[in-house]
Chains A and B, each alone.
Chain A
């Protein structure tokens, strides 16, 4: 196990991120070479920390809602009562994934107006698919012996679902949530083109005023957040997988 060094790097990266968000002016000399004609090196039309938090909140709300709906729906179609929907829901997931996020966002604007709402809708819809697919995989690829054992113990359907199936599928579900979160973090930046509060504002301000420093700091903050959150989810998933004694990541590798 070589967890030590990377973990240390991650902690350092996280601390640097916090420092940058709270005291960005300390980093101004680093970003100054990217500016022209004495333009400001640090985003000055809003508080970076506040924008980051609102960015994260948008992602959390949308992905959280997507997780609840997607897991609920995946449970439904894997029960006898919803089995008729299973083949169709698979193909809907496949088709849904071909919808470009920008198109979803743009189509949501006429329906609900500018601001936070279209971004939340686009992130929600886009977040559903990976979580649904992974939950489905998790629930349909349980070892049959385990399910038989649960039945043999006289568990009811509900008991089996909550005590056996969901805990065993949890690492795979978490992997879906991780994917959705990473996608949502990047997609939320596009939300700023429809006036949502978030880090996209910084990037777009940079594009409009031809200030590369803004583009870089907006992009790097989102990138670092994505890497850190993705790693955190992976660690959580690995821990859960170890607890249930199933190796999830070996399949993916």
Chain B
């Protein structure tokens, strides 16, 4: 009889029980008015409220009692799906017919229940020890389901999508800018950081100074670095013929791009150096014994062996850049930060979410996918 109760399950069940007593949705008369919490019973028609309550109780029970990992994963995912549908229905149900100003947003109960179920799903996935390909497939499935929900119109009543529908074209333009900033600066950092890392590995006298300077760059707060770059780039634009023509300007995307590039250099260079230093001496000796030239040794032996660590550097940089690119909005550089800072300025929560949620999702997806890729290369390396 002992060990029938799962300890983590107790935490999850308590979380779900707490969530049931908190508002599932918040109703506001307009987008900046104070919110009014609506419990599950108030936010949904009776049949849907009962159905959601039953799903949550079932999930709590499955969590509580020791059960197979597959069942736990299935139940938690079903719970998340039910929760997602329910919050969409509640928005349609709560909004008075024809009222264009009313806003319905997910309430604290929704977030808490989502957190509890996500923990349960994450725990099940960890226990299943999913391989890298399965994890990438999982991310694709997740985004597929999310896209389906968005396209189907179930969530159209939710406040965050009302914010979106008013500025759909701006949203996609800023999304493009955000990705250009994050991925473009990563590409630049790889192009410069990799050779710099190789040089720092080869030349002992270079190593400490290069890493020290890059370390100090990291300590400059991002908003200051973005700001400091305005001056030199403005000067370049004004004084170097052709610079302004290729988009170099004091404010806007150029200083943001350069700042992200500078932040990206340290992880790139440091991981390249650590990766190359970690290559087994025997491998290098063997390559030398086979009569390989320096260049051959580097490209055929050392870099492939260091690849997992270099890829880890790329993962760190990409996730960090996706987050930091939000700051670009402060200096007119665009990106999802535009919505975050506009939302902060207008105290419009939904607008903040419109900027923050895609940023978090992108960073999360980048982390999972690149982690899986790192694992695949590490396995491939002898």
Tell me if chain B binds chain A.
yes
The chain A residues found within 8 Å of chain B, CB to CB, are 34, 82, 84-85, 87-88, 90-92, 94-95, 97-103, 106-107, 109-110, 182, 185-187, 189-190, 193-194, 199-200, 203-204, 206-207, 212, 215-216, 218-220, 222-223, 226-227, 230
What residues of chain B lie closer than 8 Å to A189, measured between beta carbons? 221-224
**3 A-B pairs with the lowest CB-CB distances in the bound complex, closest first:** A100-B323, A219-B224, A215-B227
Further pairs besides A90-B126, A206-B227, A223-B219: 4, Cβ < 8 Å? A193-B341, A204-B223, A204-B330, A215-B228
User: How close is B215's CB to chain A, nearest CB, in angstroms?
Assistant: 8
A109 to B342, CA, bound (A): 13
> Does B363 contact A194, Cβ atoms closer than 8 Å?
no
A103: contacting residue among B123, B323, B366, CB under 8 A = B323
How many residue pairs bridge A and B at CB < 8 Å?
143
User: How close is B131's CB to chain A, nearest CB, in angstroms?
Assistant: 15
- Evaluate whether A102 and B326 lie within 8 angstroms (CB atoms) in the complex, with A94-B367, A95-B367, A193-B344 already known: yes
> Does B7 contact A85, Cβ atoms closer than 8 Å?
yes
> Does A95 contact B356, Cβ atoms closer than 8 Å?
no
- Evaluate whether A91 and B367 lie within 8 angstroms (CB atoms) in the complex, with A193-B330, A223-B221 already known: no
Q: Is B146 engaged at the interface, CB distance under 8 Å to the other chain?
A: no
Q: Is B122 engaged at the interface, CB distance under 8 Å to the other chain?
A: yes
Q: Can you sample 29 A-B contacts with CB below 8 Å?
A: A82-B7, A84-B8, A88-B122, A91-B122, A91-B125, A91-B126, A95-B364, A97-B367, A98-B363, A99-B323, A100-B326, A100-B363, A103-B356, A103-B360, A106-B343, A106-B344, A106-B352, A106-B356, A107-B352, A185-B221, A190-B221, A190-B222, A216-B228, A219-B225, A220-B224, A222-B221, A223-B219, A223-B224, A227-B219
> Does A219 contact B227, Cβ atoms closer than 8 Å?
yes
What residues of chain B lie closer than 8 Å to A97, measured between beta carbons? 319, 367
What residues of chain A lie closer than 8 Å to B231, measured between beta carbons? 34, 212
- Evaluate whether A99 and B352 lie within 8 angstroms (CB atoms) in the complex, with A189-B223, A223-B221 already known: no
> Does A186 contact B222, Cβ atoms closer than 8 Å?
yes
